[in-house]
Structure 1
Amino acid sequence: MTLAVKNFFLIFSPLIPPLLPSLLYPLLVSPPGLSRDTVLRRPGDNVTFTCRDEDLADANAAVSWWLEERGAAAMPGGHRRLLLGGNVLPLRRLRYEDSGRYSCFSGGHRLRSLRLLVEEPPETPRVSCYRRSHDKDVLCEWPQRVKPSPATRATLWLKRRFTAENATEQRCRYFSRARKFVCRVKVPPGADDTKSLVVSTCVANGAGTAAGEDKIITLSSVLKPDPPLNVTVEPLEKAPQRLRVNWSYPSSWDPRFYWLHFQVRYRPEPARTFTEVDQVVTTWLDIHDAWRGTRHVVQVRAQEEFGHGSWSEWSREAVGTPWIDPGDVTSEMGPFSSQFPMDYGTQGVTLPPELFGDDDAADRAAGGTVVEASARSVTSPYALVVAGGSLVLGIVLFVAIVVRYRLAWQQGRQRGAKAESEGQHTLVPLAPPGSPPLSDTPLLSPPPDPRPPGGLHVTNLDYFLAGQ
């Protein structure tokens, strides 16, 4: 039995020291037990202190209350403040600043002393860690719903997982403007980005303690760059459907050693959804399907070049309007133009960068002149006027021809059977005796005059067939 116990300690003794911080850190930062003369209240509560019991109170004896503020020495002549009141001292809507020791005196003698502690029990930490670049420290933070008391202390422990080394302790700082605790964890030079680390947190004050769940991270998984800077949107001359977007690396990321890839999203101001372009490796992008004469909103975010970690927050919004031809009448239509983007109905679809790179290089090599090549057709108002006029003229001509033909048909009926006689040869009967020889008599009667009264009749085909 003794040998078995000895072997147990030999095997597990290296693991005991690193486990102690995780097991004991709530006890190390826990406040001591409250004494009997301590009154604990939350901010906003009310409390009433009584100097002497009613049956022992002397109506003629004067009672005064003194407050020994937090940090003051509990002795006469220390940092004390006289309070108004008699045997009963009411305190309404307590604040953190009301914490301290309250004492009542009568005839120069201290009759009672009570310690008031105004504290909010600490919130349970929900930690998130990030790293702005490969050469920066790790920052761990968690938000607070309410402002903690000045006596609240937050501590973070960090250790490598499955190792026997001791955990490192870091104090955390509260930022009132951001309403969150932030802990800076020093990363030793040459640390392996793929090794797992265990993060433990604890918050404590006079009202109690709260410990967060252990969080397992790696240095590469917590990479989160800052948003890109200096995002600008500029029009391209003589290109009414294109915009040039430029930006720069965040100051916390050094592009000499590590790169970023970017994602760009944009939308015309009447629209609510964005079009996204992924895998942009340059610090500029040309938008090819912008709306004519419409202002666009553009944002950019960044991620580590190999996809480690998470995306940065979106940059601030930048706005720009495509180039407008001064002589283009349609530019006055603004956002109410009849044009639509090529990807209308597919908002949010990401486009590969190959759609933009070759055209841009050719444009720059040609001296900067941009030639618009769009799959979109925009109808000119002049073409609409010509087409409409041609349609009206054709209708008028068709109606005129029909009316003219109807008039000619009515005139032919009045002459009688003109349609049967047109285009036929008339037989000449043999002449009776005594008449001129047949050679002197024409075999064909002269054709009727095809010209109607009043000039040329374009609908009478006999005019064109006669005499041939």
Structure 2
Amino acid sequence: MSCCLQPLIFLLFAAAAAPRQPCGPLGLSHDTVLGRPGANITLRCWDEGPGNVTVSWRVEEWGRSQRLPAGNALPLHRLRHEDAGTYSCFVGSHRLRSLRLLVQEPPETPRVSCYRRSHDHDVLCEWPLRAKPSPGTRAMLWVKQRFTAENATEQRCRFFSKSQKFVCRVKVPRGADDIKPLLVSTCVSNAAGSAAGEDKIITLNGVLRPDPPLNVTVTALEKAPQRLRVNWSYPSSWDHRFYWLRFQVRYRPEPAQTFSEVDQVTTTWLDIHDAWRGLRHVVQVRAQEEFGHGAWSEWSREAVGAPWTDPKDLNSEMGFFSSQFPMEDGTYGLTLPPELFVEDGADGTGGPIMEASARSTASPYTFLVAGGSLLLGIALCIGIVLRYRQLWWMDGWRGAKPEGEGQHVLVPLGSPSPPLSDTPLLSPPCSPASGGLHVTSLDYFFSGQ
């Protein structure tokens, strides 16, 4: 068994240790001179020649020609990228020599990331740059199946100045295995040097990364002040007739900075049940392959919406608002309705404002105390009038009745009472020693009249 495995292990290690693709600087021709940015360099028309001959120089760069100082040697200080061009020396009108000056620096080391927008798209590998590459910089990418001795396919990469990155397209043959590992190598080179990126091992499923969802909208649901309906659509690069996506939704009220998230959404809509009443909400959606292969897409553009608001609540909130005037004591006064702030009359004198400011700002408890005192005084007066009216009525009735007719002798219950005219309306205060309850004019209540 072990004798059979040894050749296989040897082949695997041999394939893994296979030499990398060559990555070296571009070759320079004999009439090309290389200079680094910021360096000093001297161009010579010839090494040996007559000293009494006047040599003139001319440079052709960016489609224009310019005369330079004369002399066999042409010093150039603190080179810039703009100094690159073709320098020619002349004796009279005869061209003696032409030199091509390149002002370049070695390229940046590529840090490659690969992704695939859907199952039926090619793989794109890219890396960003900190600075624009020098003219003539070349970027190459090689792909081959891992642990095999087959030759790698070579791809030329393009530089996109708008996004400041190199992009390489890897053609995926029809019927390729989505889980078979692939080895990706990169190299960037120019006349000043070269840089090789780190090898990456990828699978077609592993590099899936859909585009963000499109047409995200947020709408209110009628008579639901805490709900929002979010709708979106599949990205145009994903064919949802054969492959599906799952989505993640995040949302927050506008004053807040933290998002709430909802995972494992398989539809293209979602109802949010815990929205904040009356607040605008920011909503974003992202997508991933339905079985979790690959990476999540970027978040979609922000969509904004607010829950449904009852018009009655809106009117009540808009009906009164705080218009606080600073008072003399540093406090703030009344909360006034908005109609008081409308200018009264064509001259805009604002009469209601003056009237409102002249009103008393007394506390409502003062009016309650005053009204209660008034009612208590009125009740006391009515009680006194009723008491005297009944006494007057009894005196008149006794005076009109014949003497001795139908009279009955009343046996007093206690000591004889003083006449009514001598009875005060309010009894004098009792001494603490009496210990009893005194009721004034008890005979009045027991008279039976």
Structure 2 length-normalised TM = 0.64
SS at match of 1:187: coil
Contact 2:186 2:197 in 1 (8 A): yes
Match of 1:290 in 2: 275
Structure 2 distance, partners of 1:83, 1:18, is 57
Q: How big is the shift at 1:253?
A: 0.7
Larger radius of gyration: 2
* Residue of 172, 176, 191 corresponding to 2:161: 176
Alignment of 1:373-452 (within 5 A): none
Q: Deviations over 1:331-355 (max 9, x none)?
A: 549xx9xxxxxxxxxxxxxxxxxxx
Change (3 A) 1:45 1:274: farther
Contact 2:12 2:147 in 1 (8 A): no
In the alignment, structure 2 segments of 5+ residues that lack a partner are: 1-5, 323-363, 377-409, 427-436, 440-444
Match of 2:210 in 1: 225
Match of 1:63 in 2: 55
Change (3 A) 1:215 1:109: same
Q: How big is the shift at 1:248?
A: 0.2
Structure 2 distance, partners of 1:222, 1:49, is 51
Contact 2:106 2:192 in 1 (8 A): yes
Contact 1:227 1:314 in 2 (8 A): yes
Q: How big is the shift at 1:129?
A: 0.4
Structure 2 distance, partners of 1:271, 1:138, is 39
Structure 1 distance, partners of 2:220, 2:64, is 69
Q: Deviations over 1:340-378 (max 9, x none)?
A: xxxxxxxxxxxxxxxxxxxxxxxxxxxxxxxxxxxxxxx
Contact 1:15 1:164 in 2 (8 A): no
Structure 2 distance, partners of 1:241, 1:57, is 93
SS at match of 2:227: strand
Q: How big is the shift at 1:285?
A: 1.2
Q: How big is the shift at 1:223?
A: 0.7
Q: Deviations over 1:279-312 (max 9, x none)?
A: 1111111222223332221111111111111110
Structure 2 distance, partners of 1:446, 1:319, is 95
2:313 corresponds to 1:321: no
SS at match of 2:206: coil
Identity %: 68
Change (3 A) 1:9 1:121: same
Structure 1 distance, partners of 2:266, 2:216, is 15
Supply the AA of the counterpart residue of 1:65.
W
Change (3 A) 1:135 1:283: same
Structure 2 distance, partners of 1:194, 1:13, is 21
Contact 2:205 2:293 in 1 (8 A): yes
Match of 1:40 in 2: 34
2:69 corresponds to 1:85: yes
Match of 2:236 in 1: 251
Structure 1 distance, partners of 2:210, 2:317, is 40
2:34 corresponds to 1:49: no
Contact 1:202 1:210 in 2 (8 A): yes
Structure 2 distance, partners of 1:169, 1:204, is 15
Match of 1:151 in 2: 136
Contact 2:280 2:304 in 1 (8 A): yes
Match of 1:310 in 2: 295
Match of 1:187 in 2: 172
Change (3 A) 1:54 1:164: closer
Match of 1:140 in 2: 125
Supply the AA of the counterpart residue of 1:191.
A
Change (3 A) 1:107 1:121: same
Structure 2 distance, partners of 1:198, 1:15, is 14
Supply the AA of the counterpart residue of 1:85.
P
Q: How big is the shift at 1:240?
A: 2.5
- Shifted more, 265-274 versus 210-219: the winner is 265-274
Change (3 A) 1:332 1:50: farther
* Residue of 22, 25, 31 corresponding to 1:25: 22
* Residue of 119, 123, 127 corresponding to 2:112: 127
Q: Deviations over 1:103-159 (max 9, x none)?
A: 312245555554311223111110000011111111110111111123111111111
**RMSD of Structure 2 on Structure 1 (CA):** 4.5
- Shifted more, 205-214 versus 92-101: the winner is 92-101
Q: Deviations over 1:300-332 (max 9, x none)?
A: 111111111111001111111222333234654
Change (3 A) 1:240 1:441: same
Change (3 A) 1:311 1:24: closer
Structure 2 distance, partners of 1:237, 1:192, is 50
Contact 2:59 2:68 in 1 (8 A): no
Contact 2:221 2:308 in 1 (8 A): yes
Equivalent pairs counted in the alignment come to 351
In the alignment, structure 1 segments of 5+ residues that lack a partner are: 1-7, 71-78, 337-391, 405-439, 455-459
Change (3 A) 1:226 1:14: closer
